[in-house]
Structure 1
């Protein structure tokens, strides 16, 4: 099995990137994986940020332990959305698949095994849109014996996909007149916050690449694979992350065992109990509660 390249998007947090790299290196597969690191440029209106970006670039040049290390340093600030769309497109079309990470994630020791096995297992299963390494804590039915499950809305915290799925996304939302009529259906499919985020991209006050990826998944009626126990934890809730605040409504259990005997569902379908549990994090009531907690903790 040819291992998928690993793509990391970094910015202005050298210590976070070091933690990400160190946890990856604890995965046996790292030494046989090609690593690509994209570092965004500093914002001109942020005092001292250039020094932090320089520190990230310096550390990136020192990374060892992978099959190969490639890096790209942007002269100007592209923003996370544009950086990911451009960077992933560049690498995934060379390899046909990719594992995509950000610089505030920490991984279980079986993360790369799980990701590569999923990408290999489902590469010809067009119903599967992505392999996700992170999972919110879910209530597992007693009769459910698998280590993984399928859900609708992809997670952007440690994930992988294939070139054909990635290239199917309408990044520019060209057919907006048709899309604008799908708000309720999109929210029912992926959560109450979905269409507002999509609209923010179209209207220019948001730039989420992930919501456009999920919208394409919605249009094609495809599913993503998740682990029951998360193989990713997000350390970005320190107030410094681009899209994360100090408090999060998302709760998870982290895989500390590193088992590689992973059981997959026999069919690519939703387990309704697991689906409802996973989607409960995106209900209106939970989001309102989250906004209150954000105000308290930030």
Structure 2
């Protein structure tokens, strides 16, 4: 079993939910768990106590093959925490399943992720295995349980050490990347370049957009389930990057199914691609902004 990494912060209830759903996977008892907790932010009243409550809970987690944890004394931010933590674990195991603390996992999540890691380990055109999937329109003649798409999802995902280590996290030659702006957006959605440029300008600290940019440059794909094995529980207004309303709703797999079918070839299905990437279209993003505003009140 691949090790499972969870990045946590100050939300005890959310962490309990993800751990509880993980333990409903029978593969959990064979999986090594690593939990990284970021430190409290300076000047945030009461946050240190919240982080401490998360740490106390983690120290008493049972049900996994092993439980390992790292508690940061300072606030590194999610992006830096993910890069450092995944690098540390994946260098030891050669692969890893990565989660944040606002996810709910299906009972067959770990089976699906491990099977995908095993199946495509030597297929280097596959960059990651994703547990989350948007609600896609499946063609009537499409009989598989999985599909390939370009842009990797950061909501419950897995990869191998060679793919992870191929990412240029610093992008020191960023000025030369501007000529790829339109192509990057066509590849992964209309928000891709803005997110990457915002990272470079210090307006976000996203590790995920840099991961996707590396995937884009290498012309690689990610595997997705037709029925999502992950749902995001962070749409409560408390998550770092989530709001109360989101267009990213899914059909969640509550079954214990463990027989999955895969496309015969690693290739993009045009119809499924349009359906999945459509969630990042300009029209849907504008509609989302309106709904974000409405749900503020």
Residue equivalent to 1:227: 225
Question: What is the CA distance between 1:175 and its match in structure 2?
Answer: 1.7
5 Å-filtered alignment, 1:1-298, equals 3-298=1-296
Deviation at 1:230, TM superposition (A): 0.3
SS in 2 for 1:208: coil
Structure 2 gap ranges (5+): none
* Offset of residue 276 of structure 1: 0.3
SS at the partner of 2:172?
coil
Shift of 1:244: 0.5
Which SS does the other structure have where 2:59 is aligned? helix
**Other structure's SS at 1:69 match:** strand
Shift of 1:182: 0.9
RMSD (Å), alpha carbons: 0.6
TM-score of the pair, normalised by structure 1 = 0.99
Which whole-Å CA distance do the structure 1 matches of 2:262 and 2:43 have between them? 48
Give the total of aligned pairs. Answer: 296
Q: Distance in 1 between matches of 2:7 and 2:86?
A: 10
Counterparts of 1:195 and 1:280, CA distance in 2 = 16
Q: Which runs of 5+ in 1 are unaligned?
A: none
1:169 to partner: Cα distance:
0.5
Q: Secondary structure at the match of 1:62?
A: coil
> What is the CA–CA distance in structure 2 between the aligned matches of 1:63 and 1:184, rounded to whole Å?
46
Q: Which string of whole-angstrom CA distances, capped at 9 and with x for unpartnered residues, describes residues 267-297 of structure 1?
A: 0000000000001100001000100111110
Tell me how far apart the structure 1 counterparts of residues 115 and 255 of structure 2 sit (CA, whole Å): 17
